[in-house]
Every structure is written in structure tokens, then in C-alpha cells.
Amino acid sequence: MTRARLRSTVVLSGLILLAAPWLAERVLPRGILYLSILWFAAAGFLLHAAFLILKSWMGRAGAVALLMVLTLSPVLLTAVPLPPPAAIHFPCPRNWTNLATWELRASPTASISFGIGTGRVKLCYGRPASRGRRMIGGRLVPFGRLWRTGANEPTTIITTTPLQIAGIAVPAGRVSLYTVPGPETWEIILNSSTRQWGHESEYTDAVKAGELGRTILPSEISQSSLERLTFSVESRDSRKEVELVLRWERILVRIPISAGPR
């Protein structure tokens, strides 16, 4: 391959690498697999091009070692359950044992971080979109049925300090947030198990045994509608108590969080 052709192919592969995740959020689900294959092909070519360049600088072994570190680091940093003080500053955890994790995501992963008391808290969740469908109270998120409160892995709260979440005592560490939506009230479920895939079918008896508690909270109707699930934080007293606000479509649920006893 000539240098000019190599350069143009590298540019094209780079554009695919950047554009494919953006397209994955907008195409129909059946297109995700094809986009993922295209993304991995582009990534593979860029790795090959990088190997050819690095080999001339540091030799074959050095190039392979460096590229392996660069390739595996994102997987290791999101697969290893780091202690909460470190996990707060790293990307959200992923369940790499599930094949869906290796595909591009129609529901991108998002996170919010906030302080409470002397600790820090991070919420990680997938952001599904309505795409013209009725989600909450519809076929995909029906009333009265367990929901992972997002998409992909279970929505996860990482905290460096004990908390009271909707009146439920939560120790420092990681907990998953499940809900049972209803027309006027939502059941909030906190569970110490966070390593399972988030789909409701994965909420087995073994996972259920890790529940820390359940509580009921009222829901509200918002004047405006949101296309994607969104969590935000509203302060009551930023040092002692905040509200974690779930919004999607026209539904709004406020989840109070306060510092727990040490």
C-alpha cells in the first residue's frame, strides 16, 4: 500500500471510529450489529497502521506491548471493581462478560457526580430514547414490572460514604438502582449486587437476595417531555442532602439522598 493510500485509509478509519457511536444512537436496533462490525474493522486497521509506524521506532516487541496496553486499558479500567474513592474518577463499570457490551450502544452510558457530606457519589446509567414510542407505562417499560432504570448494565450508585437513599441505609461501595414504575407512585429498590447484566430477566433469586430495601415514592408529571432518560441532582443542602431527579418523557421522580451515619 502506498503512503498516500495508507494516509487516506487511516483518515477514513478515524472518521468511522468517531461517527459510528453517534450513528448507533440514531439507527434502528437491527443496524447496531453492522455498525459494530464496521467500527471494529476500522479500529483494527488503525491498530495495524499504528503497529507499522511504532515498529520502526521501538521494534516489533515494543510496538506489540504498547498497543496491547492501549487496547486493553479501557476494558480493564471498566471491568475491575476499583475501590469507590478511585472508581469515582474512572469511567463507569461495564459487564464485559455479556456479548452486548462489545457492541456499540443505542443507549449511551452517562454519569453524574456530586458531593454529599464529606463524601463523593457517582451515578452510572444507560440513556434509552423514546424514538416515537411510549416507554414508561408502555410495552417496553410497563407499570407494575421491575425495570433496571436505564439500559445495558444496571443503574449503579458508587459512594465513598454511607448514605440514606429514600430512607434506605446504603453502605459505602456500590449499589444498583431498580424501580417498579406506576401511574402515580414508583417503588425504589436498592441492591448490593451490581455485577449482573441489567435486564430484568437477570434479576434472579440470587440477585434479589442482595436487596438492601424497598420504598415507595410519588411521581410527578412534567410540563415538558424528554426524549432520553436523564438523571440530575438538585440540592436541598449540598452538605447534607440532595435530590436525585429521574426524568423521562413527562415523568419525574425525586429520590432524596442524605449522608448516613458513619
Domain residue ranges in the chain: 3-79, 84-259
Give pLDDT tens digits for 14-56: 999 999 999 999 887 788 999 999 999 999 999 988 898 898 8
- Confidence band (pLDDT; 50, 70, 90) for 1? low
Give pLDDT tens digits for 183-231: 999 999 999 999 999 889 999 999 999 999 999 999 999 989 999 999 9
Give pLDDT tens digits for 88-144: 999 999 999 888 899 999 999 999 999 998 899 999 999 999 988 999 999 999 999
Query: How many alpha carbons lie under 13 Å from residue 147 in its C-beta half-sphere?
Result: 25
Q: Does residue 80 surpass a pLDDT of 90?
A: no
Q: Does residue 262 surpass a pLDDT of 70?
A: no
The dihedral through the CA atoms of 41, 43, 47, 52 has a sign that is: positive
Q: Does residue 151 surpass a pLDDT of 80?
A: yes
Q: Degrees (nearest 5) of the Cα angle 108, 136, 101?
A: 25
